[in-house]
Chain A
Amino acid sequence: MEKKIVMPKLRPEMKSGILCAWLKEEGEDVKAGEPLYEVETDKVVNQIEASESGVLEKQLYEEGDEVKALDPVAVIRM
């Protein structure tokens, strides 16, 4: 089963976020709660934790890309 991981709305008015780094490679095992990628906001760099355990099947964006809030950024195969 596949699960899409979405760009969180880190604050109510957030329209999009810069995915500044991937912390897992495609094909790598991911445990729920482990940081998966980083999003920079005005104040800090947020390490977004994976909500599911599985294998990171696909990174849908590259580092530096701007991603709309709530758009899928990765696919995890469980």
Chain B
Amino acid sequence: MEKKPEWLKVRYNQEAVNEVAELMKGLKLNTVCKEANCPNLGECYLKHTATFMLLGSICTRNCRFCNVPHGKPLPPDPEEPRHVAEAAKKMGLRHVVLTCATRDDLTDGGAEHFAKTIRAIREVSPGTTIETLISDMKLNTDALDVVMEARPEVLNHNVETVKELQKEVRPSAAYERSLDVLRYCKKKDPSVLTKTGFMVGLGETEEQIDRLLDDILETGCDILTIGQYLQPSKEHIPLARYASPEDFARYKEIALAKGFRHVASAPLARSSYKAWEALEDVHDLY
């Protein structure tokens, strides 16, 4: 294993992790924090924040960067929307991020389940803002409409990497399709903030990143996250490089200059890490 740079150190508090893990287990809920082996789990759980992973922890796709297991998923749990709302209330979350493994086996890609969960949270915790981090739902606009009509504050869908590396990194997805998801959702309801993110460290060049930023911005996207790719295991796509904190600061400067409204760019930035701060920052601009 290559020696980790100084900036990839995270704090871990077992008690805080146990507390959130037990709440999730009690309500039969999954978090992407645990399933994706997120490096920020310790910090987020200590702050009592987590990202709910709807529709089970098994994915129908097999992206080469991702730690979420691939396989045949279970049918949706009809009680899950209510359980998520209950957990969000118990944890006192002011901002909830909902995501899911890609569910190509479901006709609507899980859209209705997202909508039900949004409505359940609104009912028990009306002051909580909601962010949906969705799959591309095969660009099924009926499915995307269902999510958008439930009116999350933020619609997030990750492009993950530059155009040139899409096939290698996420063979079942497509660059243009992901951009179209962002474009379609923005057009459908411009009052919903759109957000996307990508990783660096997969072998992309500076020019490719620059073109990626332009392509994302062209969809009308408001919020951007840029983080370091961290290889979950030897079986995953190899790490090409560790970008330095200075590199991330430069990407942020470039993205803001191009016109993004909020950019979180740091080695450990993740799509839902400190998601509330991004929303607050953009809302302050209104």
Contact = CB atoms under 8 A, between A and B. Distances in A.
B8 A44 contact: yes
Given A33-B13, A49-B12, A51-B15, A43 B1 contact: no
A22 B111 CA distance: 48
A12 B31 CA distance: 13
Nearest to A50: B13
Given A11-B37, A12-B34, A46-B42, A40 B13 contact: no
A47 B8 CA distance: 10
B232 to A, nearest CB: 6
Contacts of B17: 8
Instruction: Count chain B CB atoms within 10 A of each CB in A40, A41, A42, A51 and give the residue with the most.
Output: A42
A33 B4 CA distance: 23
Interface residues of A, number: 19
Interface residues of B, number: 20
Instruction: Count chain A CB atoms within 10 A of each CB in B17, B39, B268 and give the residue with the most.
Output: B39
A69 to B, nearest CB: 12
B256 interface: no
A48 interface: yes
Given A43-B231, A47-B11, 17 more contacts: A11-B34, A38-B9, A39-B12, A40-B1, A40-B4, A41-B37, A42-B1, A43-B8, A43-B232, A44-B8, A45-B9, A45-B10, A47-B10, A47-B12, A48-B14, A49-B12, A49-B13
Interface of A: 8, 10-12, 33, 35, 38-49, 51
Instruction: Enumerate the 3 nearest inter-chain pairs by beta-carbon distance, A residue then B residue, closest first.
Output: A43-B230, A44-B39, A46-B12
